[in-house]
Amino acid sequence: MANFLGGSAYAMSRDIAEGYVLLSAVLLKGFTPADLMQLRQQLEKVQREIRADQPASDDVQAIQKRGRKISRISSALLVLDTMRKR
């Protein structure tokens, strides 16, 4: 069983979206391929949740916050894909 930060893959995914955890190759070094796949699935789930939450069109701060979360998730997915190919 992997040592996901926050206790579970979902919690770690939420922390990545909020910016509390920055995904890197060093952090993922101890994860098995199955753990990486589980984290990827949870990141995609969190990304869908964030995309489904549409802030009001006049709430600029909420739109920017949502964009930053989506950007963090996209970056994390890119790091995961790179790790899986190695």
Tens-digit pLDDT profile for residues 30-81: 888 899 999 999 999 999 999 999 999 999 999 999 999 999 999 999 999 9
* Alpha carbons 53 and 83: distance in angstroms, whole number: 29
Residues 14-33 pLDDT 10s: 999 999 999 998 988 888 88
User: Looking at residue 1, what is its pLDDT?
Assistant: 55
Contact 10, 65 (CB under 8 A): no
DSSP output for 9-64:
HHHHHHHHHHTS----TTTTTT--HHHHHHHHHHHHHHHHHHHH----TT-HHHHH
Q: Give the HSE-up count for residue 35: Cα atoms under 13 Å, Cβ half-sphere.
A: 15
Model confidence, pTM: 0.89
What's residue 4's pLDDT?
Answer: 87
